[in-house]
């Protein structure tokens, strides 16, 4: 697809910038706006030794870890909520195959803000946790004036590549969200290269009609990939719910590495890309997620 | 865990107990996966605290009171909110400002004698027996809000340990004045609510103390299921069960689709 801005590209072109060993940020929040089509694309390409900096997430970091693409991951929060602990992350952390850089909300907030501002580190309050003990490079005691509250320095976070998912974009690359933006814009300001998947492309007149939905203006986006159901099995707020049945299949398949490899071979490493993935999930199942029927 | 079945679900009871302690005009924050917390705040708003203000930590929606309990991050909350704030702005008062929030309500894998919180790991961090989800905003909410509540949906020796394996939310730290000695603002845990009872912290030592036990629960059962010595007052109160009016408002105005009874029934007695 040729567009005036050249930002709308196919999945393979967008992901070609991701090299082994890079630091990759992931946006969204738990099951919301997980950039799964981009994650599946990275796994199909077989990238290795990534360092992940995920916003509080679920299946996106978990799948990359389970696929063996990750050397180390920051962990602010990685959870499957009511479906339990993140299965592949849990196995990797407990066996020590992936190094965990323990972080908290203030750590990622201060680190991203420093990254976005081109400052070497951010200052956050020392909240009396064990985080500095297990992640001494991520939390350093700051020198403060006598009588000041104790503070910690957190190094700037500047991901080489950031993966996001929004609901729709125009051809200039303005990305609109129908739900909350979470850390996505701050991460986009801090990252060196931003790839955003969207479920659909809309005319720029549609974007202008509701400009307040534009959470990621085009200046903060390098590449847009159009992937319907690109957040599946998570939800794309306002468009489709998370797929509880498939998430349960995923959790069951994650009981051991052999079983999870078989899941990946079926759904991700089959050479067919996203069209094949959508076929595997099935049109009826996907359509049901857009009905609102799965909402509580 | 010994539990006596009641005419209300465990989740409903925890929501009622938490709501009772909230005051009108207070400011609160609710995190991800927080059905009981949402119910408690909206129940307080519907009864005695109409100006309680709460915000969805991740999503930024304020006071979504629809009568349906949804995950706090869900976009559906936007249409029934009073405001929608962006997280990169909210971090100022979540992660840095002292005492912006009157309270937060936090769950945990483990808590201990001084109300410290662990959601990171059981066992050694480098090679944990159980890898938990992580800290997210718990450090800041325990450290910076005026008080917090610990809400445990299980009460056993795995969850109530002498000392948490990882401090991700500082409670009263090592007791006494250790929290403020470490430079943290005044605050810390006020109550612990569990399927067995309600607990508070003795003002001087800051050690966890029995405040009331739920109907049918004995002090021996609580001791058997707590991995440290609780302070026990001479006379142990009985928890005032949710009354008809509280349950009516909860079921007709706050949780009309029955999320709490579906997700938080009483645990099976062992």
- In this structure, what CATH number is given to the domain that contains residue A93? 3.40.1080.10
Residues of B in contact with A181 (CB under 8 A): 86-87
Alpha-carbon distance of A219 to A255, in angstroms, equals: 42
pTM: 0.96
Report how many domains make up chain A: 1
Rounded mean pLDDT, B100-127: 97
Does the distance separating the beta carbons of A89 and B131 come in below 8 Å? yes
Q: Is B231 exposed, middle or buried (0-12, 13-18, 19+ CB in 10 A)?
A: middle
Residue A4 lies in a domain: no
Residue A200 lies in a domain: yes
Alpha-carbon distance of A282 to B3, in angstroms, equals: 44
Does the distance separating the beta carbons of B143 and A127 come in below 8 Å? yes
Residue A223 lies in a domain: yes
Q: How far does A12 lie from chain B, in Å, by closest CA?
A: 30
Residue B182: partners with Cβ closer than 8 Å, 6 or more residues away: A126, A128, A150, B170, B173
pLDDT per residue over B225-259, tens digit each? Answer: 999 999 999 999 999 999 999 999 999 999 999 99
Residue A201 lies in a domain: yes
Q: How far does B131 lie from chain A, in Å, by closest CA?
A: 5
Q: Average the pLDDT over each of A56-70, A241-255, B47-61, B71-85 and give the range with the smallest value.
A: B71-85
Computed from CA positions of residues B127, B131, B132, B136, in that sequence, does the dihedral angle turn out positive or negative?
positive
Q: How far does B169 lie from chain A, in Å, by closest CA?
A: 6
Does the distance separating the beta carbons of B91 and A105 come in below 8 Å? yes
pLDDT per residue over A154-167, tens digit each? Answer: 999 999 999 999 99
What's the pLDDT score for residue A3?
A: 55
Residue A87 lies in a domain: yes
Does the distance separating the beta carbons of A81 and B58 come in below 8 Å? no
Residue B67 pLDDT exceeds 60: yes
Residue B73: partners with Cβ closer than 8 Å, 6 or more residues away: A29, A30, A32, A179, A180, A182, B32, B56, B58, B59
Closest CA to A79 of A44, A24, A28, A136: A28
What's the pLDDT score for residue B5?
A: 59
Q: Which of B69, B136, B182 sits opposite A105 (nearest CB)?
A: B136
Chain A, chain B: beta-carbon pairs less than 8 Å apart = 177
Chain B residue at shortest CA distance from A113: B88
- The per-type count for chain B, helices as H runs and strands as E runs, is 8, 15
Does the distance separating the beta carbons of B125 and A134 come in below 8 Å? yes
Residue A294 lies in a domain: no
Give residue A265's domain range.
11-102+158-289
Rounded percentage of chain A residues whose pLDDT exceeds 90: 95
What's the pLDDT score for residue B32?
A: 83
Q: ipTM for the complex?
A: 0.95
């Amino acid at each position: 697809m040729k567009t005036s801005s050249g930002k709308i590209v196919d999945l393979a072109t967008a992901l070609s910038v991701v090299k082994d060993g890079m630091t990759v940020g992931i946006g969204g929040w738990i099951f919301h706006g997980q950039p799964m089509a981009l994650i599946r694309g990275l796994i199909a390409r077989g990238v290795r030794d990534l360092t992940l900096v995920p916003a509080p997430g679920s299946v996106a970091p978990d799948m990359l870890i389970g696929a063996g693409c990750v050397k180390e991951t920051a962990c602010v929060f990685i959870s499957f909520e009511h479906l339990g602990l993140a299965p592949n992350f849990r196995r990797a952390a407990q066996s020590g195959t992936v190094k965990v850089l323990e972080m908290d909300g203030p750590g990622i907030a201060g680190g991203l803000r420093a990254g976005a501002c081109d400052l070497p580190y951010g200052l956050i309050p020392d909240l009396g946790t064990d985080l500095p003990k297990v992640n001494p490079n991520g939390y350093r005691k700051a020198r403060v004036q006598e009588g000041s509250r104790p503070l910690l320095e957190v190094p700037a976070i500047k991901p080489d590549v950031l993966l996001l998912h929004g609901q729709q974009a125009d051809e200039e690359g303005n990305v609109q969200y129908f739900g909350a933006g979470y850390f996505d814009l701050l991460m986009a300001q801090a990252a060196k290269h931003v790839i955003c998947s969207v479920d659909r492309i809309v005319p720029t007149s549609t974007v202008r009609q509701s400009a307040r939905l534009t959470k990621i203006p085009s200046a903060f986006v390098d590449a847009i990939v159009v992937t319907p159901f690109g957040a599946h099995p998570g939800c794309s707020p306002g468009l489709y719910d998370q797929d509880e049945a498939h998430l349960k299949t995923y959790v069951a398949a994650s009981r051991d590495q052999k079983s999870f490899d078989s899941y990946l071979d079926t759904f991700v490493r089959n050479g067919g890309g996203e069209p094949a993935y959508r076929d595997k999930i099935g049109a009826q199942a996907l359509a049901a997620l857009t009905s609102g029927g799965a909402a509580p | 865990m010994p539990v006596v079945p009641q005419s209300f679900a465990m989740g409903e009871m925890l929501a009622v107990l938490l709501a009772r302690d909230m005051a009108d005009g207070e400011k609160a924050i609710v995190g991800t996966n927080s059905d009981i917390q949402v119910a408690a705040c909206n129940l307080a708003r519907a009864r005695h605290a109409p100006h309680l203000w709460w915000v969805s930590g991740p999503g930024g929606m304020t006071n979504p009171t629809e009568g349906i309990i949804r995950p706090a991050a869900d976009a559906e909350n936007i249409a029934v909110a009073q405001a929608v704030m962006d997280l990169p702005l909210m971090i100022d008062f979540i992660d840095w400002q002292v005492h912006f929030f009157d309270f937060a309500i936090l769950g945990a894998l483990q808590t201990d004698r001084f109300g410290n919180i662990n959601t990171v790991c059981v066992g050694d961090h480098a090679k944990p027996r159980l890898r938990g989800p992580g800290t997210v905003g718990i450090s800041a909410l325990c450290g910076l809000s005026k008080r917090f509540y610990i809400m445990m949906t299980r009460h056993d020796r795995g969850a109530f340990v002498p000392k948490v394996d990882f401090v991700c939310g500082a409670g009263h730290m090592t007791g006494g004045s250790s929290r403020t000695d470490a430079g943290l603002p005044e605050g810390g845990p006020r109550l612990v609510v569990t399927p067995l009872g309600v607990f508070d912290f003795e003002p001087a030592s800051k050690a966890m103390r029995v405040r009331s036990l739920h109907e049918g629960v004995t002090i021996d059962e609580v001791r058997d299921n707590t991995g440290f010595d609780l302070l026990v007052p001479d006379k142990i109160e009985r928890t005032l069960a949710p009354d008809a009016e509280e349950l009516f408002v909860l079921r007709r105005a706050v949780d009309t689709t029955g999320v709490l009874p579906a997700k938080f029934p009483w645990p099976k007695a062992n």
